[in-house]
Amino acid sequence: MQKNPVQCQFVAALDSIVGKWKPIILYHLLQGKPLRFNELRRLLPDITQRMLTLHLRELEEEEIVKRVIYPQIPPKVEYSITEYGMSLSPVLETLHQWGVAHIERKQLIKQKNEQTKTD
Amino acid sequence: MQKNPVQCQFVAALDSIVGKWKPIILYHLLQGKPLRFNELRRLLPDITQRMLTLHLRELEEEEIVKRVIYPQIPPKVEYSITEYGMSLSPVLETLHQWGVAHIERKQLIKQKNEQTKTD
DNA sequence: CAGCATCCACATTGATACTG
DNA sequence: CAGTATCAATGTGGATGCTG
């Protein structure tokens, strides 16, 4: 733990959320339906197997995601959001909303700049 | 831009917020009072001069933070949140709240574990 | 199917010294 | 006071090949 408590709190929150793919993984799992490893891969076409595994392990560690193994061949593993993980929903939600607005704003500015060029 | 729009939106939001010290910089600036460079340094005792400069430049670039230079000697520069930057307030707020709860929860679990040891 | 192991590239941060 | 410049360390993510 560090000296600065506010810093800590942000860090604690961001650690759980940050990682190139964690927000989208959580976004999909927050839909409620458990997803298999390869289903997640299909939903995140650009993620590598390695990163999906790593991120899922980290989320599991923090009890944000639950991993259920069905002992069968071929293996089947399902990932789902935990009750605790659901508490992240408002965080992701506001973050997502801001992202949408932020992108829109950028495009507006870009358009304006292109207009003034032709003036 | 990438193929996945949801990914984009999260990335856009996180880009603005992520950076080891950005959340706390914003947290302090969101208090409303403009802060000088060295005032910020004092509020963030562990940040290096270099990182403070870099993060402030990035926030300025995105028009989240405004930089005002008073041409005098010794130099005086004040940083403040822009109106647009204020729109980040709810994002930081929910993030911060979740961080607080997350830390409390971890400590509760730790305490429980120490109890069961002595049982 | 659902991984793990290894090696590598690049991005982010830090340490330190110097300046108008 | 408010920086910049340079260099070094660390961290994060990607590519590839192998496995029960």
What is the pTM (predicted TM-score) of this model?
Answer: 0.90
Distance A21 CA to C9 C1' (A): 19
What is the per-residue pLDDT for A3? 60
* Chain B contact set for A58 (CB, 8 A): none
Distance A56 CA to C16 C1' (A): 39
* Chain A contact set for B91 (CB, 8 A): 94-95, 98
Topology, domain B9-116: Arc Repressor Mutant, subunit A (1.10.10)
Query: Chain C bases under 7 Å from protein CB?
Result: 1-6, 12-17, 20
SS3 string, chain A, reads CCCCHHHHHHHHHHHHHCCCCHHHHHHHHCCCCCEEHHHHHHHCCCCCHHHHHHHHHHHHHCCCEEEEEECCCCCEEEEEECHHHHCCHHHHHHHHHHHHHHHHHHHHHHHHHHHHHHC
> What is the residue-level pLDDT of chain B in tens, covering all 119 positions?
446 888 889 988 998 898 999 999 999 999 999 999 999 999 999 999 999 999 999 999 999 999 999 999 999 999 999 999 999 999 999 999 999 999 999 889 889 888 887 76
Q: For residue B36, what is the enclosing H or E element?
A: strand B35-36
Domain ranges of chain B: 9-116
Q: What is the pLDDT of residues A74-100, one digit of tens each?
A: 999 999 999 999 999 999 999 999 999
User: Can you tell me the distance from the alpha carbon of B50 to that of B119, in angstroms, rounded to the nearest whole number?
Assistant: 51
